[in-house]
Structure 1
Amino acid sequence: MSTARSHLIDLSPLKASPAFARMWIGSVLAGIGGQLTIVTVMLHVFALTGSTFAVSMIAVAGLVPMILAGLYGGMLADAFDRRRVALIAATVTFASTGLLAALTWTGAETIWWLYVLSIINSAANSVGMATRTAIVPRLIPRDLLAAASALNGVAFGLTVMAGPALAGILVALTGYGWTYTIDVVLMLSMFLGLWTLPSLRPEGEVVRPGLASLVDGWRFLRRASNIRTQYVMDIIAMTFGQPLVLFPALGTVLLGGGAVTTGILTAAVAVGTFTSSLFSGRVVQYRWHGRGIERAVEAYGASIMGFGVVLLIGAFSAPATEKLPNVGLIVAACILLAASGASDNVSSIYRNTMMQASVPDSMRGRLQGVFIIVVAGGPRVGALYAGTLASLTTLWFPPLLGGFLVIALVALLARRSTRFRAYDAENPEP
């Protein structure tokens, strides 16, 4: 392979496993639809209430159900056929999104319906994500796991890049009903990717779902210091460096542009994720994953702090409106958000590979359940942090302070975790 091509993404997992390729394609299409609904619900709630705090409460309300579903879903994935568990979770998500579309078309939607159905979607997605991630190491060899994580970064980038941008445009042009309906149609592709998988029962000793299974997983996690450290680093980053909940207000009262700006800002994060995945050839070859996670999370914090500086400048600039947005500041914000997406994706590649390579198959579902709780729960706590602090202060303060806290806390944690910094992908140890 030439030096130039060695920087490009490795497509070997798609060639090595048709089953993985089908599941990957289904996840991309269904993920785009899921992002349509996530952003549309945010816009819908903001339109009904005019409150950033009410938008943040969508994420907060789903936190406890998501945690319980992730834990129990992980136990299910370690006890039953993972293909069947993933199919059931996808069915619940499909049904709840269909009901959301039906209520909107009939004009029967309320703020409480939006909350309840968002909670159901969150819980079902938690189970589905934990199970699908636990499936991947059974479909491809260990030496391709990092490349598969980079491909999942491409999938995430595509979904978050296309979904929010389309949501902003569709809501502005057609309203909420059509956007939810498109998600229902796109969800069908997930069933194709899962339905064609072989039966995938867990290997090794099987522990039935329940307290014994949960305790068994907790004991393993207590011994797995590398896994615990990456969890804590991700929680820090997502708690203090997740400004997504601010985007509807930024498009309305600070940067201008309305729903379209909300979609563009959200998509900018995915542009960084997608681009960094496309040029991940050298990233997946780096063997010191602990150091890679540390440096990537610190770069993430710096990007979010820079985003806060841009908003601070906007607060003292000429007022922007939906028809007269501050284009210069929107571009600057998008560049920094793209940098945050790229940094988070590099961290995610190493974190996923560490999880899949160092955790035994009999424990993988439960640990993936905890991992999904960390990945998805952190942003929800972050939504509460950003929404509450913005309500008490101003829109630019949460990312400015949060980015600084991410850098400082992760640097401190890394200095105290020498085993994590020495983690070697060629000799994976949890």
Structure 2
Amino acid sequence: MTETARPSLPRNRPRNRPRILADLTPLRTSVHYRRLWFGNTISWIGQGMTTLAISLQVYDITRSTFAVGLVGLFSLVPLVAFGLYGGAVADTVDRRRLGLVSASGSAVLSAALAAGAFAGFEHVWFLYGVVALQAVCAAVNSPARSAMIPRLLPPEQLPAANALNSMTTTSGFLVGPMLGGLIVGFAGYQSAYFIDAVAFSASLYAMWRLPSMRPDRAVGAKKASVLEGLRFLATRPNLRMTFFSDFCAMIVAHPRALFPAVAVAWYGGDARTTGMLAAAPALGALLGGVFSGWQGRIRRHGLAILFAVGAWGTAIAVFGLTRNLWLGLFFLAVAGCADTVSMVFRNTMMQVAAPDEMRGRLQGVFIVVVAGGPRLGDFLAGSVADLTSPTVTVTGGGIACVLALGLLALRWRGFARYDARNPTP
């Protein structure tokens, strides 16, 4: 190309102006990704509404907090059990079709909840059954949907896409329950469930417009097994480290289960204080997605993950030492922001460094880690706090997270040298 043929930059836009806000390039360049992102965002908000509505309805029927707690168990077990299987299926069939079928199943289940509520069918085991089936659909849908993204965008746009996806997830956690509470309060459970069922149409339409998404290489059903995916992961130290680093944060330094006790003992608060503590990491995660424009310039993804997980552990440790509520909320928000940064680069490494025929299974493992890790962290934090104190548990967990991460980084030194321009799994 000659010098005169080169397109000129806009005069009012500096060539190297640093980007601060989220990079919207994936939304501008790929109409398929844009539809999928908007559809998923609407669906996640609808699912957040349903999640809260089910908890409220279970409590309304039983007046038991234990019964409400079982909702999480009925969701977790199928999610973990079918997450790995769903990833294996995603590596054998057309991922577009698998996404359509599983999302349609979730929509039908939301419609069943609405029909039951309209009919006055108030049986807690019906709600538990729907929750379990919804978790199965999600466990099958998520690996297929995540494995589609690298087929829609070039590798250099994947960090931006994963940051945008993190905003979708966080919006579902924040906006969905708030809308769900308002809608249930004004119009009843049936309205929340019905809106969720209708909201799935956006995701279904986006997937319907996608091209065929079969894996790059034809993989037989026997080869595309869960064990094959785990054996692949066992021989790929950089990909394996993405999971180990997340374990350091989500299992060793995860104080969520202690928020009710901490709200009273440290801040003299009540249920509203507990809600603020729970919302602070989510708000930080959302801000981490909104101000993610800088992430596209990072090439050392492994090093970025180490810094982010180290920041999580440090923020949690300092949170355990502060007795000022607003300062505590600030450090929890910092931890949430660091978690988003870690998630963006971990997901990008899996999408780029793994071959296409393995992406579904690795995303299945990712689901198990994301779903199971925090629950194990809740159990560990509660057990240690009973033996010691919340202060020792929270601060000690944050310090242990940083130390464990450092030992892992020393054991697998190549992880810090991982370069996105030459991805090595």
TM-score range, shorter-chain basis? 0.7 to 0.9
Aligned to 2:270: 256
Cα distance, 1:27 vs. partner?
0.7
When structure 1 is superposed on structure 2, of 72-81 and 93-102 the one drifting more is 93-102
Cα distance, 1:342 vs. partner?
0.7
Letter in 2 for 1:10: D
1:374 corresponds to 2:369: yes
Cα 1:299–1:40 shift into 2, 3 Å: farther
Contact 1:161/1:268 (<8 A) preserved: no
Larger Rg: 2
Aligned to 1:76: 89
Q: Give the Cα–Cα distance (whole angstroms) in 1 for the partners of residues 93 and 35 of structure 2.
A: 22
Aligned to 1:215: 227
Contact 2:91/2:359 (<8 A) preserved: yes
Match 1:148 to one of 161, 175, 195: 161
Cα 1:341–1:39 shift into 2, 3 Å: farther
Aligned to 1:344: 339
1:239 corresponds to 2:232: no
When structure 1 is superposed on structure 2, of 23-32 and 154-163 the one drifting more is 154-163
Q: Give the Cα–Cα distance (whole angstroms) in 1 for the partners of residues 339 and 363 of structure 2.
A: 18
Match 1:271 to one of 283, 300, 318: 283
Q: Deviations over 1:98-125 (max 9, x none)?
A: 3334444555444444433322222211
1:161 corresponds to 2:174: yes
Q: Give the Cα–Cα distance (whole angstroms) in 2 for the partners of residues 238 and 62 of structure 1.
A: 19
Structural mapping, 1:7-18, within 5 Å = 7-18=20-31
Letter in 1 for 2:295: V
Q: Give the Cα–Cα distance (whole angstroms) in 1 for the partners of residues 249 and 342 of structure 2.
A: 11
Q: How many residues align?
A: 409
Unaligned runs of at least 5 residues, structure 1: 314-327
**Structure 1 counterpart SS, 2:418:** coil
Contact 1:168/1:263 (<8 A) preserved: no
Contact 1:78/1:366 (<8 A) preserved: yes
Cα 1:420–1:290 shift into 2, 3 Å: same
Aligned to 1:325: none
Letter in 1 for 2:215: P
Structural mapping, 1:27-426, within 5 Å = 27-44=40-57, 48=62, 50-51=64-65, 55-170=68-183, 176-208=189-221, 210=222, 213-244=225-256, 255-256=269-270, 258=272, 265-309=277-321, 313=323, 329=325, 331-386=326-381, 399-426=394-421
Cα distance, 1:232 vs. partner?
1.6
Q: Give the Cα–Cα distance (whole angstroms) in 2 for the partners of residues 39 and 266 of structure 1.
A: 15
Contact 1:290/1:423 (<8 A) preserved: yes
Q: Give the Cα–Cα distance (whole angstroms) in 1 for the partners of residues 158 and 376 of structure 2.
A: 29
1:428 corresponds to 2:407: no
Cα 1:33–1:243 shift into 2, 3 Å: farther
Unaligned runs of at least 5 residues, structure 2: 1-12
**Structure 1 counterpart SS, 2:293:** coil
Cα 1:390–1:142 shift into 2, 3 Å: same
Contact 1:81/1:199 (<8 A) preserved: yes
Cα 1:120–1:159 shift into 2, 3 Å: same
Contact 1:131/1:365 (<8 A) preserved: yes
Cα 1:294–1:46 shift into 2, 3 Å: farther
**Structure 1 counterpart SS, 2:92:** coil
Q: Give the Cα–Cα distance (whole angstroms) in 2 for the partners of residues 332 and 39 of structure 1.
A: 28
Cα distance, 1:372 vs. partner?
1.8
Q: Deviations over 1:296-337 (max 9, x none)?
A: 112122333444456xx4xxxxxxxxxxxxxx83x4454333
When structure 1 is superposed on structure 2, of 410-419 and 242-251 the one drifting more is 242-251
Letter in 2 for 1:337: L
Cα 1:186–1:245 shift into 2, 3 Å: farther
- Give the alignment's TM-score, normalised by structure 2: 0.84
Match 1:6 to one of 7, 19, 29: 19
Q: Deviations over 1:11-43 (max 9, x none)?
A: 111122100100000011111111223344445
Q: Give the Cα–Cα distance (whole angstroms) in 2 for the partners of residues 181 and 13 of structure 1.
A: 31
**Structure 2 counterpart SS, 1:62:** helix
Q: Deviations over 1:395-430 (max 9, x none)?
A: 777645543432332222222221112111111011
Contact 1:69/1:126 (<8 A) preserved: yes
